Amino acid sequence: MTLRVLIGGARAGKSRLATDLATRWTGPVAYVATAEERDDEMSARIERHRAERPGGWRTIEEPIRLRSALETLDDDEAAVVDCLTLWVANLLEHGEAAAAIVADAERTAVRAAARAAPVIVVTNEVGLGIVPVNELARSYRDLLGEVNRVFVAHAQDAVLVVAGRALRLGAVE
């Protein structure tokens, strides 16, 4: 039905918008979380996101196998995927090569776009700032940009979220 990508900077309101959009779906909703509780700050972020979600939503915590998580959803179950940013970092940390991550992103985006119920994907735009000083940070920035581009290429809708405001991104013709 609809793959929608919400992209923007940190704390821009992407997750809140994703939650608002998903509440408009009349069927069940699953929240696919890619974050892992590794420290107190991340635990607080996760708890804040949990508190903002409606109580009837199913939560799937899957930091690595995102496509598999989407395949477990019922046909009429919408999904909020939060977020690609951490998913890519998790894959890198587990030793996945960039090319394998992009290929997995392609398969996952195709699967998400083919679902009958909507999939709303949250991701960060990390390439708008200064050029990172080290190779790992530059590689991550470039890889996430490529993964974001793959998802947007399969999306019916892409939205840039800045300071809580949504700007629809159109295709260049």
Average pLDDT over residues 16-28: 95
- Distance between CA atoms of residues 162 and 156, nearest Å: 20
Q: Regarding predicted confidence, which is higher, 143 or 132?
A: 143
* Longest pairwise C-alpha distance within the chain: 47
What pairs with residue 58 in β-bridges? 30
Of 14, 49, 53, 154, the active-site residue reads 49
Residue % of the chain over a pLDDT of 70:
98
Strands 78-82 and 29-33: parallel
Mapping DSSP to helix (H, G, I), strand (E, B) and coil, where does residue 121 land?
Answer: strand
Tokens of 14: 């992407």
Catalytic status, residue 94: no
CATH no. of 3-169? 3.40.50.300
Mapping DSSP to helix (H, G, I), strand (E, B) and coil, where does residue 77 land?
Answer: coil
Question: What counts of helices (H) and strands (E) characterise the chain?
Answer: 6, 7
Q: Is the pLDDT of residue 93 over 70?
A: yes
φ, ψ dihedrals at 71, nearest 5°: -70, -15
Query: What is residue 97's predicted lDDT score, i.e. its pLDDT?
Result: 97
Lowest mean pLDDT among 34-38, 61-65, 107-111: 34-38
Mapping DSSP to helix (H, G, I), strand (E, B) and coil, where does residue 134 land?
Answer: coil
- Distance between CA atoms of residues 12 and 26, nearest Å: 26
Give the dihedral sign, CA 10/123/19/52.
negative
What pairs with residue 130 in β-bridges? none
Angle between helix 98-114 and 135-154 (nearest 10): 20
